[in-house]
Structure 1
Amino acid sequence: MTLPSTDTRVSYPDGDTVSTGTVLHVEPLADGRSAVVLDRTAFHPVDTAWPDQPADRGRMRWGAAEAQIVGGVTGGIHDGELLLGRELPVRMGTPEWTFVVGHVIEGEAPEVGAEVEVSVDEGYRHALSAGHTGCHLASLALDAALAEAWTKAVSTDALGAPGFDAAAIQTSRIEEFGSTDVYRIGKSLRKKGFDVTALDDLDAVAARANAALAAWVASGASVRIERDGDAISARRTWVCALPDQEARIPCGGTHLAGLDAVEAITVALEATDVEGGRELRMRTTISLRG
C-alpha cells in the first residue's frame, strides 16, 4: 500500500474543531484498532517529542458509518515505513521524512480514498487549551519569581528572565483547566549557578509568581498562534501580548485566544527530597469567567 508523501495539513492551530479530509492510509494496530491518516485534519494529536498536551477527543464519520477517535498520535514515514507514536525515532521536521497525524479508531475503518469528517469534542479541547495557556504563563511567572536566585548568567526566557523552567523541567502535563510541571533541583542545576536556598520559602516564591499572573490576567492580553505553514511539521509559536513585552514560545499545542475570558491563574508549589537533590512540583490552575 502506498504511503503518503506529504505532511498532514492541520487546522487546530486556528482553533478549528471540525474538518473534512481524504483517507490516505489505514494502518492496522493491535486489539482491532487502526490508525487512519488523512490529508488534513482539525484533530490535535499527542506530540511524540514533547507529549505534554493529550490528544483531542472526537469522532470520525464517513458515509453512513462513524467511529469514536480513541487516540491521536504523530507519525513519520521514511523509506516506505510508517512509524507511529513512541516508535518515531526522529523529531518533527527532520529532512527526508514525511510527518502525519494518526487518528486511532476501533472496529471498522474507512477505505483509502474515502472522504471523512472529523469532529472534535469542543468542551474538552477548550479545557486543554486553557490549561496550556495557563502553563506557559505559569512558567514565565515562576522564572520571574526566581530571577534573583542565579549567581551565573543563564539562558533567558521569553520575557528576558533567567530560564529556571527551561533549565530544570523534567515533565510537563497539560490537564483540563490546569497543568502539572515537575522540576529537578540537583547538582547540574547548582553548577549552572542556581542557589537552591531560594526554594526554602516556597510560599513566598508562589506569592511572587501569583502576583505576576494576576497582573497579566488583569491586562486581558491577546493570544495568537503564528506558524510557518499548515503542515503538521511546520514551526508554530505561541504569542501573548503582555503589557510590558510580547512573549513568544515555540509550541505545537492549542490555546485560548486571549486572557480576557480568564478569571484567574494561580500556582501552588511543593518540594520533596529525592535521590541526589530535590523535586519541585508546580500545580497550575486556571479559571474562566462565567
Structure 2
Amino acid sequence: MSEVLTHQVLPTKVLFTQEITQSLTQVQWVEQTDTGSYVVTENTPFHPVSHIWPDHPADKGFLVLAGTKYAVIDCLTGAFDIENNKLHVGADIPVKRGEAGWHFVVVHELALDAVINLSDDVELIVDANYQGALSRGHSAGHLASFALNKVLEQAYWRKDASRKDALNNRDFHSYAQELSLVSENQSTDTYRLGKTLKKRGLNVAEMLTDLAEIEARVNDVLATWLATKAPVVMKCEGDALTDSRFWCCDLGIGESITMPCGGSHVQSLAEYNAIKIVLTLKSEQDLEMITTAS
C-alpha cells in the first residue's frame, strides 16, 4: 500500500434499491494500492459485490470529476475500522456487520492514475443497461427457486421438513444449494443431491428419473406467475449497506414471497417476456439449474 489520506468515514448510503443510477456525492476516503485507487463516497448508486456470498457481480460505470471520466474497474464491500483509521476490503474484512467501531462502505476501485482527493464533489454513473440485466437475472433466479420447490413439494418428498420457504413448500433450494451465480439475464444454481438430502426425505432417484417432466412443470409455474405482472418491491430497514433488505413479490392467488436479499432487482414481473429453466445432471450428485430471462 502507498499513500492513505485520512478523513472521517461514515457508512455509505446506498441508492441502488431506489432504482437510482446517478448521484452527486462527496469523496470521504481515498487510498492508493499497488494496482489501483480505492474511493469511498458518502452515497452511491453502485451495487458492490458481497465479500460473503459473491453471487451478484459488481455494477459497472464511471466516476466523473470536473469533466474527467474514470471507469469504475470494480466495486467492492469494505469495512472501516474507526479506531485505527483503516479500510479493509473484500476477503480482508475481519468482522461481521454491525460490529461496534466499524462502518461498512462501498469501495469504488479506479485505475492507479486516477486523480481524486478527499472532499472532492463527484458524480457516480452506473451502467443502467448492465445493472438492469443483472437485476433481471437475479429476480428470475428467485422465482425459479420457488417454482422448483413448489413442483418438488407435490410429489417428491416422503417426510415433512423443518425448513419451509415463503410459500410454505419444503425448501429444496435452501437445503441443496451449493453455488449460485447471477449474470446478465441469467442465474445459475448448483445443487448437491447427497446422502443428507435423502435422509431429510427427498426421493432423489424418482426426482432424477422425472427430471425432464419437472423442468417442464417448473416452466409452467413460471409462466403462470409472470402472467400476474406482479410488482416487485425492495423493502429496506435503512439506507446503509448493512441494513436488512427484503425482496417482496405478491403473486396473488394466495402466493406472496418475502425473502432477505441484498442484490438489485426488477420492479415488476411485467419486465419479462419469459423466464425458463433448464435442469442438467452434471454428475451423479450435482444438479445444475440455469434460469434464463427474456
Q: TM-score, normalized by length of structure 2?
A: 0.92
Q: Secondary structure at the match of 2:91?
A: helix
Aligned residue number for residue 195 of structure 2: 187
Q: Deviations over 1:168-196 (max 9, x none)?
A: 11111111111111111112222222221
Aligned residue number for residue 40 of structure 2: 37
Deviation at 1:2, TM superposition (A): 3.2
Aligned residue number for residue 170 of structure 1: 178
User: 2:241 & 2:43 partners in 1: Cα distance?
Assistant: 9
Aligned residue number for residue 70 of structure 1: 73
Q: Percent identity over the alignment? A: 37
- Cα RMSD of the aligned pairs, angstroms, is 1.4
User: 1:21 & 1:48 partners in 2: Cα distance?
Assistant: 24
Q: Secondary structure at the match of 1:133?
A: helix
Structure 1 residues without counterparts, runs of 5 or longer: none
Pick closer, same or farther for the CA change 1:271–1:74 going to 2, 3 Å: same
Q: Secondary structure at the match of 2:37?
A: strand
Q: Deviations over 1:191-210 (max 9, x none)?
A: 22222122222111111211
Answer whether contact 1:223 1:256 (CA < 8 A) is retained.
Answer: yes
1:143 equivalent among 141, 149, 164? 149
User: 2:101 & 2:246 partners in 1: Cα distance?
Assistant: 23
Answer whether contact 1:57 1:124 (CA < 8 A) is retained.
Answer: yes
User: 1:137 & 1:57 partners in 2: Cα distance?
Assistant: 25
What pairs up with 1:76-225 in 2 under 5 angstroms?
76-78=79-81, 79-80=83-84, 81-106=86-111, 107-147=113-153, 148-150=155-157, 151-197=159-205, 198-225=207-234
Structure 2 residues without counterparts, runs of 5 or longer: none
Deviation at 1:143, TM superposition (A): 0.8
1:2 aligns to 2:22 (yes or no): no
User: 1:100 & 1:230 partners in 2: Cα distance?
Assistant: 12
Aligned residue number for residue 26 of structure 1: 30
Q: Deviations over 1:1-31 (max 9, x none)?
A: 4354421001100111001111111122232
User: 2:256 & 2:98 partners in 1: Cα distance?
Assistant: 26
User: 1:158 & 1:4 partners in 2: Cα distance?
Assistant: 41
User: 1:258 & 1:4 partners in 2: Cα distance?
Assistant: 39
What pairs up with 1:197-276 in 2 under 5 angstroms?
197=205, 198-243=207-252, 244-273=254-283
Answer whether contact 2:29 2:39 (CA < 8 A) is retained.
Answer: yes
Q: Secondary structure at the match of 1:170?
A: strand
Deviation at 1:41, TM superposition (A): 0.6
Number of residue pairs matched?
Answer: 283
Q: Deviations over 1:242-271 (max 9, x none)?
A: 122220110111111101121111100001
User: 2:201 & 2:7 partners in 1: Cα distance?
Assistant: 49
